Amino acid sequence: MKSLKKIVLKVPLDAKSKEFFGLLEKYELLQIHRQDDDQIFATQKVKFKDPKMHPKILESEHYGISFIEVIKEDKENNEFIFFSKHKWVEQTKRFLDRLDLIIDPPIILDQERLLVSIITESKNIDEFVNSLNQFYKGGLEILSISHMQPNYENLFLKLTDRQKEIVYYAAQHGYFEIPRRINSKEIADHFTISRSALYDHLRKIERTIYHSIFY
C-alpha cells in the first residue's frame, strides 16, 4: 500500500491572484466536484469588501472563470456560495500532475495567503518541498506534514456502479501496473467514452479511495 502524507501550506499570492483576492474579505473553496485536463469545477464561498459587488463580476476571461451560478446569497452579511467553472493555471496543473498531487479542500484565504492542503505519496515529499521553494522563492510556509491513517470502512460501497466497472476493468487489464499493459485510450474505447471522461472517472475514483482509506 502507498504511504500517503498530508501537507498543509500557506501559499503566497502572485500579482494576478492578489488582484482577484483583493476584492474579497473572505474566501473559501468548499469542494472540488470535478477536474479534467482543462478545467476545474468547484463550489466556493466569498465575502466581498464592497457590498455592491456580486460573484458574476468574477465571470470573465481575465480571471479564467467561464461560468458562475450563485447557490446561496446572504445579503445581510454580503456572503455568497456559488458553483464555478475555471480554467487551470497551466503551471499549477503541470505541477500537480508531475508529482501526482491531490488538492484536499477547503482552501481558505488567510492574511493574503492561501491555506491549502495537499495529499501525496511519502516518496514525493522532498521533491514537492524543493519544487515549491524554487517556485515561490520565499513566502511559502509549511504548517504541517502528517501521516494519513487508514480507514477501510465501506470503501467499495462508496463507488458508483460505473466507477466500479471502470476501476475493475482497468485493474484486471493491468492499467495500474508498471509498465502498464493497457492504456487509457483502450479503456475509454471499451466503455465508449472519451479519454477526458475516463480521466474524470479515474480522478473521482482516486479521490474516493484516498478519502475512504485515509480519513
Closest of 144, 130, 110, 124 to residue 12, by C-alpha = 110
- What is the rounded average pLDDT of the residues 147-163? 71
The neighbour count for residue 35, using CB atoms within 10 Å, is 21
**pLDDT tens-digit series, residues 96-137:** 666 667 888 899 998 788 999 988 888 878 888 787 777 777
Residue 70's alpha-carbon distances to 36, 73, 99, in angstroms, are 22, 7, 34
In the prediction, which pLDDT does 146 show?
87
Domains of the chain: 4-147 (no CATH), 156-214 (1.10.10)
Distance from C-alpha of 21 to C-alpha of 25, rounded to nearest angstrom: 8
Mean pLDDT of the chain: 83
**pLDDT tens-digit series, residues 167-187:** 889 988 988 887 888 998 999
With a cut of 70, say whether residue 72 has pLDDT above it: yes
Q: Which three cell numbers stand for residue 14?
A: 502572485
Considering only 12-16, 91-95, 122-126, which range has the smallest mean pLDDT? 91-95
Distance from C-alpha of 194 to C-alpha of 188, rounded to nearest angstrom: 6
In the prediction, which pLDDT does 119 show?
85
For residues 173-201, one letter each, b for 16 or more C-beta atoms within 10 angstroms of the residue's C-beta and e for the rest, the string is bebeeeeeebeeeebbeeeeeeeeebebb
